[in-house]
């Protein structure tokens, strides 16, 4: 009799927890991934398995660019750190990589080598929108880039071109772009490959 | 002069409310320090902080600055503190919820050393003192404590449903959530663990200026506690509490009963206990040393001390 009650309660508890993913069916979610992970983040699948959503990265970010995902990005992303570059981009201070308790963000130093090891994504220019490509000299992205001349080069009329090998995807160019909507965007390499 | 048992119980209750409030304040401070860091790195000047964020923020900025500068470089020291209760870092020392470690191990990952060592203090504390986390650390239990008071106050005017299910329900929630974690990732814990939901809600509202979904969890827990049963969440839902209760089932320090002074028909201690412990029957598993029964006992036959064999 006692064992029966034990098993019944256990099953009820398990069922309640198992029904929880139903919140993932809430309507009006948009899943076009227009955000970046903090620097040092592992491959997306690996990152999701390692990140325990403790929020320490968002807590130490002096730039307040890391926010935590809600249900709009799906249950599997709930509470994970994200950076929306257009709103506020990463300044590569690497404070978040130092505090991550589970190694979801690999530890990087705020030095030249550390910055070179970052791979948040890669920028690409929408030449149809860019002022410089329309003959109006701008160069805002070039002046925002932490690796000018390496990741982002400019030509005539300050036309930007991206060197994908050097671009770390911090998003400062996207934040700085004076065109609305932005003519330069940063997205993860996998997503860029899927789109082009 | 020895304290009477009731006075000791009252003292413990005051202490437990105080420490839980301390944890709550700490969580709010951690979230506010994100704002402080932002202002420090952005301006680094109290006058500019006042101009951009007001005199209140300036006061907070200057106080935090003085506090952190005492230990060294303010920014570096400030960045040693972070987190929202279930994996938190205070002064560079990490503390981890055992459930977090379980969850990471289940994903087949080798946990980082600091992360794994972070469970030591909570586990040792539970092994020696029992489920003290629930009465002295958990900021969400402050909410449930308040709800239990409301139930007791209004209990003479209204009927409150008081459902009692098995403690194994929390084991079920733990196992079920671990199964869910396998597919949907660790994010579900923000909805299941009451104190994590609390931390998440506070952090979102203070540091990010947004309302987190975890606030719905808090609402659900509140409804459970109000409408389904006394302290329902702490007793039958919270996986961390269940796990710590199991770790502490041989705790050295427990509630003791002087059988000769105990009144036979009285069940005051069992009625008031937030965690469904019955000192009357000498069942002290799950005891969180909150001291409520010491105050409630009419003959003061209960005390807290080392477990007698």
| Contacts of residue B183, Cβ cutoff 8 Å, sequence gap at least 6 | A21
Judge: A78–B192 Cβ closer than 8 Å, yes or no.
no
Q: Alpha helices of chain B — where are they, by DSSP H? A: 5-42, 46-53, 55-69, 74-78, 98-106, 113-117, 120-129, 132-136, 140-154, 168-184, 189-192, 194-203, 214-223, 232, 239-247, 268-272, 292-296
Say if residue A87 is in the same domain as residue A135.
no
Mean pLDDT over all residues of chain B? 90
CA gap A189, B217 in Å, rounded: 36
Same domain, A179 and A104: no
What ipTM is given for this predicted complex? 0.88
Distance CA B89, CA B118 (A): 9
- Out of B41, B168, B210, the one facing A9 most closely (by C-beta) is B168
Confidence check: pLDDT of A28 > 60: no
In chain A, the percentage of residues whose pLDDT exceeds 70 is 96
Residues in chain B with CB shorter than 8 Å from the CB of A9 are 165-169, 172, 236
Q: What is the pLDDT of residue A108?
A: 93
Give A54 to chain B, closest Cα distance, Å: 6
Same domain, A37 and A112: yes
Closest alpha carbon to B139 in B33, B27, B20: B20
Q: Chain A: give the shortest CA distance to residue B175, in Å.
A: 6
Residues 236-295 of B with CB under 8 A from A: 236-237
B174 contact residues in A (CB cutoff 8 A): 13, 17
Closest CA to A177 of A126, A121, A135, A134: A126
Report the C-alpha gap between B159 and B125 in whole angstroms.
38
Q: Which of B270, B37, B214 is nearest to A93 (CA)?
A: B37
Distance from the A160 Cα atom to the nearest Cα atom in chain B, whole angstroms: 28
Residue A166 and residue A139 share a domain: yes
Give contacts of B 177-216 with A, CB under 8 A. Answer: 177, 179-180, 183-192, 199-200, 203-204, 207-208, 210, 212-213
The pLDDT-based confidence of A3 (bands split at 50, 70, 90) is confident
Beta-bridge partner residues of B87? B96
Please indicate, yes or no, whether residues A43 and A125 belong to a single structural domain of this protein: no
Interface size between A and B, measured as CB pairs under 8 A: 192
pLDDT at A1 over 60: no
Does one domain contain both A187 and A126? yes
Residues A43 and A101 in one domain: yes
pLDDT recorded at residue A159: 93
Kindly state whether residue A15 falls inside one of the protein's structural domains: no
In a domain, residue A67? The reply is yes
Same domain, A142 and A60: no
Q: How many domains does chain A have?
A: 2
Residues A143 and A125 in one domain: yes
- What chain B holds in terms of domains, given with CATH numbers, is 81-249 (no CATH), 253-306 (3.30.70)
Q: Is residue A9 part of a domain?
A: no
Q: Is B107 on the interface with A (CB under 8 A)?
A: yes
Residue A180 is assigned to a structural domain of this protein: yes
Listed as ranges, residues in chain B with pLDDT below 70 are 1-2, 309
As a whole number of angstroms, the distance between CA A155 and CA B101 comes to 52
- A48: CATH: 3.30.70.20
Q: Is residue A18 part of a domain?
A: no
Split at pLDDT 50, 70, 90, the class of A115 is very high
Distance from CA of B51 to the nearest CA of A (A): 19
Q: Which of A118, A144, A168 is the last residue of a domain?
A: A118
Domain boundary among A101, A118, A135: A118
Question: What b/e sequence results for A158-189 when a residue is b if at least 16 CB atoms lie within 10 Å of its CB, and e otherwise?
Answer: bbbebeeeebbbbbbbbbbbebeebbbbbbbe
The pLDDT score that the predictor gives to residue B250 is 85
pLDDT at A33: 67
State CA A148 to chain mean position distance.
21
Would residue A66 count as lying in a domain? yes
Boundary residue ending a domain (A118, A149, A184) = A118
Write out pLDDT tens, residues B217-270. Answer: 999 999 999 999 899 999 999 999 999 999 988 888 888 888 888 888 888 888
Residues A94 and A110 in one domain: yes
Instruction: Kindly state whether residues A135 and A113 are assigned to the same domain.
Output: no
Nearest to A13 among B111, B170, B187 (CB): B170
Based on C-alpha coordinates, what's the Rg of chain B?
Answer: 21
Considering the domain boundaries, does residue A76 fall inside one? yes
- Residues of A whose CB is below 8 A from B82: 55-57, 59-60, 99
Specify whether A176 is located in the same domain as A138. yes
Q: Judge whether A7 lies within some domain.
A: no
| Structure confidence at residue A2 (pLDDT) | 74
B37–A99: do the CB atoms touch at under 8 Å? no
Q: Quick check: A145 pLDDT over 80?
A: yes
Compute CA distances A46 → A37, A102, A133, B180, B298, whole Å.
12, 11, 39, 17, 58
Q: In terms of Cα–Cα distance, which of B297, B203, B286 is closest to B238?
A: B286
Report pLDDT for A196: 76
Domain that holds residue A99: 27-118
Separation of alpha carbons B305 and B253, rounded Å? 5
Decide if B87 and A77 are in contact by the 8 Å CB cutoff. no
Q: CA-based Rg of chain A, rounded to a whole angstrom? A: 21
| Minimum-distance CB partner of B185 among A10, A68, A76 | A76
């Amino acid at each position: 009799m006692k064992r029966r009650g034990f098993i019944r309660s256990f099953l009820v508890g398990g069922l309640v927890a198992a029904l929880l993913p139903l919140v993932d069916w809430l309507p009006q979610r948009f899943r076009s991934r227009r955000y970046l992970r903090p620097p040092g983040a592992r491959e997306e699948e690996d990152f999701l398995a390692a990140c325990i959503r403790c929020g320490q990265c968002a807590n130490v970010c002096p730039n307040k660019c890391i926010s935590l995902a809600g249900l709009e990005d799906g249950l599997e992303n709930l509470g994970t750190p994200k950076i929306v570059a257009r709103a506020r981009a990463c300044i590569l201070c690497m404070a978040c990589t130092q505090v991550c308790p589970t190694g979801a963000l690999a530890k990087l130093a705020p030095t030249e080598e550390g910055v070179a090891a970052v791979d948040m994504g890669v920028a690409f220019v929408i030449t149809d929108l860019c002022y410089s490509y329309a003959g109006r000299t701008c160069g805002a992205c070039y002046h925002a880039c932490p690796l000018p001349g390496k990741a982002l080069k400019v030509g005539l009329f300050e036309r930007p071109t991206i060197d994908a090998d050097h671009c770390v995807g911090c998003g400062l160019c996207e934040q700085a772009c004076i065109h609305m909507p932005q003519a330069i965007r940063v997205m993860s390499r996998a997503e860029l490959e899927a789109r082009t | 002069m020895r304290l009477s048992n009731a006075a000791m119980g009252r003292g413990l209750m005051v202490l437990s409310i105080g420490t839980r409030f301390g944890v709550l304040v700490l969580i709010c401070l951690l979230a506010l320090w994100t704002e402080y860091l932002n202002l420090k790195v952005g301006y680094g000047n109290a006058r500019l902080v006042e101009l951009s964020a007001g005199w209140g923020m300036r006061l907070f900025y200057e106080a935090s600055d003085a506090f952190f500068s005492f230990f060294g470089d303010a920014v570096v020291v400030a960045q040693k503190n972070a987190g929202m209760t279930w994996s938190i870092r205070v002064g560079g020392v990490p503390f981890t919820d055992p459930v977090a470690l379980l969850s990471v191990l289940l994903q087949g990952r080798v946990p980082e050393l600091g992360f794994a060592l972070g469970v030591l203090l909570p586990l040792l504390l539970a092994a020696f003192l029992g489920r003290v986390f629930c009465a002295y650390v958990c900021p969400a239990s402050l909410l449930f404590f308040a709800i239990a008071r409301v139930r007791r106050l209004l209990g003479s005017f209204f009927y409150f449903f008081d459902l009692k299910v098995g403690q194994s329900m929390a084991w079920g929630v733990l196992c079920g959530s671990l199964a869910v974690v396998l597919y949907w990732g660790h994010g579900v814990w923000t909805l299941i663990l009451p104190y994590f939901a609390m931390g998440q809600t506070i952090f979102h509202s203070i540091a990010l200026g947004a309302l987190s979904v975890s606030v719905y969890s808090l609402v659900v827990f509140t409804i459970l506690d109000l409408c389904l049963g006394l302290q329902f969440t702490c007793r039958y839902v919270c996986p961390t509490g269940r796990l710590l209760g199991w770790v502490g089932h041989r705790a050295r320090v427990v509630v003791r009963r002087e059988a000769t002074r105990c009144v036979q028909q009285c069940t005051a201690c069992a009625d008031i206990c937030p965690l469904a412990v019955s000192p009357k029957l000498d069942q002290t598993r799950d005891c969180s040393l909150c001291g409520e029964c010491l105050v409630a006992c009419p003959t003061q036959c209960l005390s807290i001390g080392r477990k007698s064999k």
